[in-house]
Amino acid sequence: MVDIRNAAPPVSAIRSSLSASLPARDGNVREFTFSTTDFERVRKLIYQHAGISLSPVKQDMVYSRLARRLRATGMRSFAEYLDGLERNGGDEWERFVNSLTTNLTSFFREPHHFPIFADHIRKIGAKRPIRVWCSAASTGEEPYSIAMTVAETFGTNVSHISIIASDLDTNVLATAAKGVYPVERVEKLSPERLRKFFLRGTGSQDGFVSVRPELKQMVSFQRINLLDTSYAVKGPLDVIFCRNVMIYFDKPTQYKILSRFAPIMQPDGLMFAGHSESFLHAADLFKSQGKTVYAPVHVR
């Protein structure tokens, strides 16, 4: 990697080829039989283990993703695979969940949140440690966006701030920890941010950028299942980013998660949600601050 601060910012001539698509409905005969009963079993199991409510229209997506697991395990049918999973899944449970989780993200996604976040931590200042939890880290773009905002707010004086980034999917967490991205993933960032926070790849790494070590050091990654009854995150937390993940849970599951968030937050803490998420059904736990920002309701 080379120092972008001493080079012109990269200009990508490549369009993103990373977008995923659902299997084509072309009428081809499937490799494995996949019945409605099989699909309903998958829906039940992913709900039990990850709280995800799969839509009935996701049958093709489920087939495509789990067919890879059948090939990898040598199973001959979905029924055989699911039977084995329920009998003695072991590590396969993790691979099953990883296969069915969706990880769509980008740097500074839903950008209106970051000035609000910056103002909030600026008000706290250095008078106490600041703890931030990014609870759906995916491949790392969101926690690194948080870290960049922290660095832009406090400069080099960030020793009092900790950023915990978690996800259910261990595969995306591994990508996040590496902090290496195709250059088109950062092409919407300003030249200043590129120079300050990234290194540009050369040789075999040409076409990639790496998050600078000093930014990586600000973030710790760990696997956390939001369905767990308690979280390996120490409170009180000043900020929780939980964006675009609650849409995969039904309302009762959302309420359970929010009921675990509220007690580990500072009384003046903030929680950031996704643009299509609303928690009016949990008004006893969180109150809206506008722009999909919420504050905990602390009942004494």
The closest of 243, 276, 291, 271 to 106, measured between CA atoms, is 243
Contact between 38 and 81 under an 8 Å Cβ cutoff? The reply is no
For 179: left if phi > 0, alpha if psi spans -120 to 50, otherwise beta; the answer is left
State phi, psi for 219 to the nearest 5 degrees.
Answer: -120, 135
> Alpha helices, DSSP H only, in 4-106?
36-50, 59-73, 78-88, 92-100
Active-site choice (167, 185, 193, 200): 167
Whose tokens are 């790392």? That residue is: 140
> For residues 246 and 243, what is the distance between their CA atoms, to the nearest angstrom?
7
Examine the residue annotation and report whether 212 is marked as an active-site residue of this protein: no
Examine the residue annotation and report whether 65 is marked as an active-site residue of this protein: yes
Active-site choice (41, 43, 65, 193): 65
Rounded alpha-carbon distances, angstroms, from residue 233 to 165, 166, 221: 10, 10, 11
**Residues designated as active site:** 65, 167
